[in-house]
Amino acid sequence: TEANLTVKPLAGVLDVRMQDVNDPIETGEDAELLVTVVNQGLQPATDVALKCVWPGGFDFRKATARSRGRSLPVKASIEQGY
């Protein structure tokens, strides 16, 4: 099963990586995805938006974000995909 990730940076050059933490995932187990975004540009990147479309059969549980050890606000919305 795969998920699509779309990144919309407003400034900067971003390196984005997504990996599943626990693989393989057995039926009924939680899946954990780790998304890493690194600003490789010379300018600060602000208001970066990540969009992940989940395949059918998955339920979104939570999203967290950190930058330099500090928690960041996350505005999560659920959109079922393909």
Question: What is the sign of the dihedral through the CA atoms of 13, 46, 7 and 34?
Answer: positive
pTM of the model: 0.64
What is residue 9's predicted lDDT score, i.e. its pLDDT?
A: 52
Q: Report the chain's C-alpha Rg in angstroms.
A: 14
| Residue 1, both tokens | 């099963």
Residues of the chain with pLDDT under 50: none
Report how far Cα 16 is from the mean position of its chain's Cα atoms: 9
Q: Count other Cβ atoms within 10 Å, centred on residue 35.
A: 14
What is residue 11's predicted lDDT score, i.e. its pLDDT?
A: 56
